[in-house]
Structure formats: C-alpha cells, structure tokens
Amino acid sequence: MTDLSYQLLSKNGFTDAYIRPLVFTGPNMSLTPPEASHLFICAWRWGKLLGDNLVNVATSSFCRPHPKSCFIDAKVVGHYTNSILATTEAKRKGFDEALLLDVNGYVSEGPGANFFMERNGILYTPPLGNILPGITRRNVLDICQKAGIPVRQQSFLPEDVYGADGAFFVGTAAEVTGLASLDGKKFRRAWKNTFGAAIQNLYKARVLQEEKIEAFI
C-alpha cells in the first residue's frame, strides 16, 4: 500500500496531498460477510481540515457510539454519519467544530480528530476504548516522549477542560490544530506559549522529514 501510494502521487504530480485508502465490499444485500473485498487509493490537494486559525469548539449533544455497538477503534465509513451530525450542529450554533463525549459523559474526540488538553504542565488525552487510535495521535505521543512532555491518558469531563492552559485536535486532515475556546470559555495561555504550539511545529517537521527534537522540559 505504501508503494501504491507513492505511485499514485507520482502519476498525479503531487508532492503534498491527502491520501485516502478505502477497503470496500462487492455487491451484497444479505447483511452477512461478503465473499470478496476491494481496495482503492485516491489523493488530492487539501489544506488543513480546520484551517490555520485557532478554532472555537462546542460540546456536542451527540455522543460517540457505544464501543460495543461496532468496532469503535476502526476507521469505518459509517461512523462519519455521527461526525457529520456533530459538526453540522456546532456550525449552526456559530462554532467552528464540535467536541464529542463518550456514552459515560467523558471527553472522547472531535468529529475527525483526537483531542489533547494542557493543564498545569501536563498534557491529557482520552484513553483508548472509546476513541479512534489515530496515527497522528500516536505520532504526537511519540513526539511528546522524545521532547520530555508529560502525557497522561485518562478520562476527564468537559468541565475539566474549562480553564485549561490550552487544547488542540490532531488528525491526518486536521494535522495539529489549536483551539481557542470550548463552549465559549477561552483557554488561559496564548497558543504560542502552549505545548500544542511546540508540538504543531515538531509534527510538521516530522511529516516533512526535517525532524530534530530537543527536550525542552
């Protein structure tokens, strides 16, 4: 798949693009496992999903699907219905994006990105189990380990995010996007003075194969 992706980029003359592989079934209306599966890979030029500015986020009235309702840790196309509903609701209320909770009321993730918050010198991110174990999330955790940024993977409530030092989304399309506020409540630090801003630069360097991490804590 990696080789095919490079071939796709070469055929389209892309050096910077969004790549989407998709596995799909053949014709099947019986609601049973199909006999065959297929793969296609497409790519197109696309800027950051949420743009380059800080985004204002609202806690969604929609929650992430129960982990026993489907393979919640898989990137399943059908899950995007939940994402579309949450984002549409947030935008109709005047916000840029949504933040979804899990079935127990704890912070889960964004409609298309994982979530991190900074409080008192520590980064917090929801644990696996109710979220997509994103590739970008995994890279950010690795960057934090190398840079000496302490991270705790634990459950927390939206109220715990209010008054935090900063917060950000991470994902293939979102990359690392800083948040300006949650439910109208702004974060305490200027974005440039947060772990998120440093991670944003370190992640970009990693993607461009210019990575050089020095611990700064």
Going by C-alpha positions, the residue among 214, 72, 94, 52 that lies closest to residue 148 is 214
Whole-angstrom CA distances from 25 to 1, 4, 39, 41, 192 are: 18, 20, 9, 15, 46
Please indicate whether residue 91 is annotated as part of the active site.
no
Active-site choice (75, 91, 186, 204): 75
DSSP-derived letter for residue 183 is: T
- Answer whether 186's CB lies under 8 Å from 167's CB: no
Amino acid at 101: L
CB-based burial of residue 23 (10 Å sphere; 0-12 exposed, 13-18 middle, 19+ buried)?
A: exposed
Q: Which residues participate in catalysis according to the annotation?
A: 75
